[in-house]
Structure 1
Amino acid sequence: MDISKTIADLKKEPGFSQNVGMLLVHNGVVRAWSRKDRSRVSAIEVTPDYQALEEIRKRFEKRPGIFRIVVKAARGLLKPGDDLLFIIVAGDIRENVKPVLADILDTIKRDAVVKREIP
């Protein structure tokens, strides 16, 4: 996913300039160490549930002040430094946009993506 192109496309959507005052972007990347004990990780195997991702995206997009949410999750064997998860939240003001990014990220990680670390 090309973040710059995706943002440029979002800006072309009807109603964007009338409804958006903030874009927040999450770009999750594969770490070379495990979150639980900081042991070395050479790769991770990622299995996203794309149907669950879409349901989550739609649910959060209904929150007050949110114009659009874009979610892209990688699948397969990924190495440290590889892009893992992109989330773009476009909305009216920071008080509406910031909590949505945090909440959707936590929900996706908990409910829609399975990762297996490979030492």
Structure 2
Amino acid sequence: MDITLTLAELKKKPGFADNVGMVLVHNGVVRGWSRKDHAPVTSVRVTPDRARMDAICRELEARPGIFCILAEAVEGECRPGDDLLFLVVAGDIRENVKAVFAELLDRIKAEAVIKQECTA
């Protein structure tokens, strides 16, 4: 996902200017160390469940104040520093957008993306 292009396209959607006061973006990247034991990571194999990701996005998009949610996960083998997961939540006010963004991130990672780390 090209964030600059994605945001430019989002702003062209009918109703954007009337309904959006905040856009939050997540650009997850592969860490060079494992979260569980800080061992060096050489690669990560990513398997996204795109149907589940879409279902979560549509469910959360129905929440009050949310205008649009976009999610994209890389599939395959990634190296430290590579982009892994992009999330965009656009909505009316901070309280609505932040809450949905936090839930989106947690649910996508828990329910829709499988990562297998290869450590040194």
Identity of aligned residues (%): 59
Q: Which residue of 2 aligns with 1:13?
A: 13
Q: Which residue of 2 aligns with 1:23?
A: 23
Please report how far the alpha carbon of residue 74 of structure 1 lies from its aligned counterpart in structure 2 after TM superposition: 0.3
**CA–CA distance in structure 1, aligned partners of residues 61 and 82 of structure 2:** 27
**CA–CA distance in structure 2, aligned partners of residues 91 and 52 of structure 1:** 22
Structure 2, unpaired ranges of 5+: none
**Structure 1 runs, 4 residues or longer, greater than 3 Å off:** none
Structure 1, unpaired ranges of 5+: none
The 5-angstrom pairing of residues 1-119 of structure 1 reads 1-119=1-119
Number of paired residues? 119
Please report how far the alpha carbon of residue 39 of structure 1 lies from its aligned counterpart in structure 2 after TM superposition: 0.7
The TM-score, its normalising length taken from structure 2, stands at 0.98
Please report how far the alpha carbon of residue 18 of structure 1 lies from its aligned counterpart in structure 2 after TM superposition: 0.2
The TM-score, its normalising length taken from structure 1, stands at 0.99
